Structure 1
């Protein structure tokens, strides 16, 4: 007895397609988070450079917010030590944190992730 198997490949493709799409979206989403991390790292390096040249904390924060291409309300910037106690020869550190969600297309099942970077330089 000969059976018709015309729809077999279509059923197999329908079973594999969600897994392939999930992998594809995961690769693009990972690239987006990596881009955010690299951008945040560059902004932190340039911001701490301003602190090393004697700029105030307000000027450093303003520069970081203007250079970052994400949501400014989520970006957290910590500068230690503060500009009131910063002296020549001390080290100043700028730490930046930005919350992200990996696999955001999954909605409530997305994985929360915080992109964090810091940079330190000596005050001139």
Structure 2
């Protein structure tokens, strides 16, 4: 009787693994994708700060955009959206300059695409006073 019971439980571990494994992979790939989004946010935040620093010393809009693109070399510079307010011709000493950087992060994992909007848009802005 005991031998019959053991034979009937042989597939139990396989069934449990088949139920748990997809959830495990979903969690694993979700962590990987959120890590990518977090990395992009940190890169964008640092790039906006670099652009703000160039703006405070009286840099032109082209110099500000160039410093932002150089500060985030791992991101696609064609996808970066950079907004500088006020424009170069309207800036004066003592006035605040706002630099806003936006970047869309494309998600690669198909199941995560259905759960979270694709692309995930990360944005960072900084306000500094021009010298």
TM-score calculated relative to the size of structure 1 = 0.91
Runs of 4+ in 1 over 6 A off after TM superposition: none
Q: Verify: 1:105 aligned to 2:123, yes or no.
A: no
Q: Which runs of 5+ in 1 are unaligned?
A: none
What residue is the counterpart of 1:122 in the other structure?
Answer: 129
Q: Verify: 1:28 aligned to 2:42, yes or no.
A: no
Q: Which runs of 5+ in 2 are unaligned?
A: none
Match of 1:56 among 50, 53, 60: 60
Structure with the higher fraction of residues in strand conformation: 1
Alignment of 1:1-124 (within 5 A): 2-3=4-5, 4-68=8-72, 69-102=74-107, 104-106=108-110, 109=114, 111-112=117-118, 113-124=120-131
How many pairs were matched up?
Answer: 123
The whole-number CA distance in structure 2 between the counterparts of 1:31 and 1:105 is 13
Structure with the higher fraction of residues in helix conformation: 2
TM-score calculated relative to the size of structure 2 = 0.87
Q: Superposition RMSD on alpha carbons, in Å?
A: 1.5
